[in-house]
């Protein structure tokens, strides 16, 4: 057993515990900041096809190129999520970056989300999930998003209860270390976070129906990020207790536990 095998042991042991209990550990994958066909996007799409893992691709509506929709056509495993509008930071000095924080009038923000949704209608597999840039947003916008037909907001960390007919369906494991290296967060750390979330669900410390979300950013990946994604898919798609589900399946499990 090499060091990489040892690093994966906690996750595989956790999945074995799910299997022993007759349970299925659901996971889902979201990748942010898509705007155009790129070599990095194509590399990610090859992983999707190779491992048959569904992907939620968060696309920035006001910045996308005309050929992205055709590039993703006939790829049923790739769902398109709405990633803000311009991915512009409106936070003031001393605040953390946000495009849909409370800095601007609610009516203006809702006009942008509506226009963004209209733009994404060109995608064959667009789904009604809103991904706020930097994973931050003013939750007062949630009822308005629901009125526009959006069924979920996907941010990061623990999901919160929202008002109206809309839910949070968040990711919990970011494979990039944004504050330190802006590269891969490290194998031991990333496997540990993935394992801890699954264990908390199995033990009832978190809602078991809420799928564990893995977050990536294909335009920012270094070799470690790509190696991790390939390795985690290779080790989970054949495990009897692991199932990678679509973004809308993840939402549905929260809506109807």
Domains in the chain with CATH codes:
3-255 (3.20.20.370)
Look at residues 193, 250, 204, 200 and name the one whose alpha carbon lies nearest to residue 29: 250
Look at residues 192, 195, 181 and name the one whose alpha carbon lies nearest to residue 241: 195
Angle at 31 (CA atoms; ends 79, 98), nearest 5 degrees = 110
pLDDT at 257: 65
Q: Are strands 176-177 and 183-184 parallel, antiparallel or unpaired?
A: antiparallel
Collapsing DSSP to helix, strand or coil, 171 comes out as strand
All residue ranges of the chain with pLDDT < 70 are 1-3, 257
pTM for the full model?
Answer: 0.96
pLDDT at 4: 79
pLDDT at 1: 37
pLDDT at 59: 98
Q: Are 133 and 84 in contact (CB under 8 A)?
A: yes
pLDDT at 164: 72
pLDDT at 5: 84
pLDDT at 2: 43
């Amino acid at each position: 057993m090499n060091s990489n095998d040892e690093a994966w042991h906690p996750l595989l042991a956790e999945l074995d515990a799910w299997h022993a209990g007759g349970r299925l550990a659901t996971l889902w994958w979201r990748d942010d900041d898509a705007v155009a066909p790129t070599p990095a996007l194509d590399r990610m799409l090859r992983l999707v096809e190779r491992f048959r893992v569904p992907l939620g691709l968060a696309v920035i509506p006001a910045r996308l190129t005309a050929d992205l929709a055709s590039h993703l056509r006939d790829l049923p495993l790739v769902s398109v999520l709405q990633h803000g509008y311009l991915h512009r930071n409106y936070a003031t000095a001393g605040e953390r970056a946000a495009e849909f924080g409370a800095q601007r009038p609610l009516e203006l923000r809702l006009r942008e989300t509506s226009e963004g949704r209209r733009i994404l209608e060109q995608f064959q597999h667009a789904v009604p999930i809103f991904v706020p840039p930097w994973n931050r947003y003013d939750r007062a916008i949630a009822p308005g998003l629901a009125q526009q037909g959006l069924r979920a907001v996907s941010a990061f960390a623990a999901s919160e209860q929202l008002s109206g007919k809309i839910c949070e369906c968040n990711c919990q494991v970011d494979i990039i270390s944004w504050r330190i290296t802006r590269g891969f967060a490290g194998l031991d750390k990333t496997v540990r976070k993935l394992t801890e979330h699954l264990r908390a669900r199995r033990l009832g410390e978190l809602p078991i129906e809420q799928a564990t979300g893995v977050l990536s950013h294909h335009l920012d990946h270094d070799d470690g990020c790509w190696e991790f994604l390939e390795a985690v898919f290779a080790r989970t798609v054949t495990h009897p207790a692991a199932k990678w589900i679509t973004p809308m399946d993840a939402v549905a499990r929260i809506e109807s536990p």
